[in-house]
């Protein structure tokens, strides 16, 4: 049985996750297809093939269509997509029969209802496609609104390899949300926690506006090196609940990787993640915030979490039964 992994989009922010899946599941795939622009940033493996994907939607569509037709010729039976474009998958299904494959697609920020046409196009994609989701709300939406099969899986936690720890005289809280945040929540949080210093990440346009510079205990930056997280004591994530209702926040998993407390508002993200990571997730109660490192065995806990993640993915993707109609080759 031939199984391929594909991420023709290969967003820069997904590179750690891409490397994680390659390193953990490499032997389970016959070939791995990635976008050429991340060639220097991923593991060097023989079965990894790099694609130069066109920026034009039309040309990109025909490239991916050709790739899927090649999969048919090569008798590929299972396709795992780490990211996808609903329009592309919908159109491919009009030009060829996708039911001859068993396709698994990971949902990241695809279920964004602010992008209504893209969102609605998911409902018209081939019904045999299986969605791999990172939280319950995604699963519920896909199953109830679109009547599609969705399976809950875990988001990888990429461990901190530096193991550096810093002792700051005045505690630092990182607020890393550049997009989809509530300005009033940040201002209120800073005002109510004057005993802390803050580092707030903002996009370039907000940096030029001088956003949050009226606070003496705040430093505003456009970017930080990943290692800077070792220097902070906690992360505060003032997430917009409308945006994050159907997606996870990668900063939660980044904070856990560095064994930091994650401070959240009382919304769905808090309720979902608190049950999974009770030692790391704390509620913003506007007083007496405890930001002591939550776990002395964090690396071992992460290893167990990731091992279970991979074990479950093997069961879902690799070991799942694949039946074809003998006459037409379709999945049944």
Over residues 231-266, the pLDDT tens digits come to 999 999 998 888 888 989 999 999 999 999 999 999
- Residue 1 — pLDDT band, cuts 50, 70, 90? confident
Model-level pTM? 0.90
Instruction: Give CA–CA dist 117/120, Å, rounded.
Output: 5
The predicted pLDDT at position 8 comes to 97
pLDDT at 190 over 90: yes
> What is the pLDDT, as a whole number, of residue 168?
58
Q: Is the pLDDT of residue 42 over 90?
A: yes
Classified by CATH at the fold level, domain 2-153+307-318 comes out as Rossmann fold (3.40.50)
Per CATH, 2-153+307-318 and 172-294 having the same topology is answered yes
Return the minimum-mean-pLDDT range out of 36-40, 73-77, 169-173, 260-264. Answer: 169-173
Contacts for 218 with CB less than 8 Å, ≥ 6 apart: 190, 197, 198, 199, 200, 212
* 77 phi, psi to nearest 5 deg: -110, -30
Return the percentage of the chain with pLDDT > 70, whole number. Answer: 92
Superfamily of domain 172-294: Glycogen Phosphorylase B; (3.40.50.2000)
The sign of the dihedral angle between the CA atoms of 233, 186, 183, 252 is positive
What residues does each domain of the chain span?
A: 2-153+307-318, 172-294
The position carrying tokens 């569509």 is: 61
Rounded to the nearest integer, the mean pLDDT of the chain is: 90
Q: How far apart are the first and last CA of the chain?
A: 16
Q: What is the pLDDT of residue 179?
A: 76
pLDDT of residue 148: 97
The span from the CA of 278 to the CA of 111, in Å, is 27
């Amino acid at each position: 049985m031939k199984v391929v992994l594909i991420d023709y989009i290969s967003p820069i922010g997904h590179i750690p996750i891409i490397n994680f899946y390659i390193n953990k599941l490499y032997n389970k795939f016959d070939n791995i297809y990635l976008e050429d622009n991340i060639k220097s940033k991923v593991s060097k493996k023989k079965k990894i093939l790099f694609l130069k994907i066109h920026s034009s939607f039309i040309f990109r569509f025909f490239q991916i269509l050709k790739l899927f037709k090649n999969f048919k010729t090569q008798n590929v039976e299972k396709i795992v997509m780490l990211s996808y474009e609903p329009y592309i998958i919908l159109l491919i299904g009009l030009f060829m029969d996708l039911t001859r494959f068993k396709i698994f697609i990971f949902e990241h920020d695809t279920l964004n209802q602010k992008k209504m046409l893209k969102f609605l196009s998911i409902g018209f994609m081939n019904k045999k496609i299986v969605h791999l989701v990172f939280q319950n709300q995604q699963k519920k939406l896909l199953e109830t609104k679109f009547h599609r099969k969705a399976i809950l899986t875990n988001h990888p936690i990429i461990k901190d390899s530096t193991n550096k720890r810093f002792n700051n005289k005045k505690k630092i809280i990182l607020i890393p949300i550049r997009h989809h945040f509530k300005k009033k929540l940040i201002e209120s949080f800073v005002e109510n926690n004057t005993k802390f210093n803050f580092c707030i990440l903002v996009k370039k346009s907000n940096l030029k506006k001088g956003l949050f510079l009226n606070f003496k205990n705040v430093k505003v930056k456009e970017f930080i090196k990943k290692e800077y997280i070792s220097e902070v004591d906690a992360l505060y994530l003032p997430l917009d609940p409308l945006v994050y209702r159907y997606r996870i926040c990668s900063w939660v998993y980044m904070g856990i990787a560095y064994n930091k407390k994650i401070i959240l508002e009382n919304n769905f993200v808090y309720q979902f993640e608190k049950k999974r990571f009770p030692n790391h997730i704390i509620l913003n109660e506007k007083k007496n915030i405890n930001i002591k490192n939550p776990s002395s065995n964090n690396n071992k806990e992460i290893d167990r979490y990731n091992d279970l993640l991979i074990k479950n993915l093997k069961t879902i993707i690799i070991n799942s039964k694949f039946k074809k109609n003998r006459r037409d080759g379709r999945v049944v």
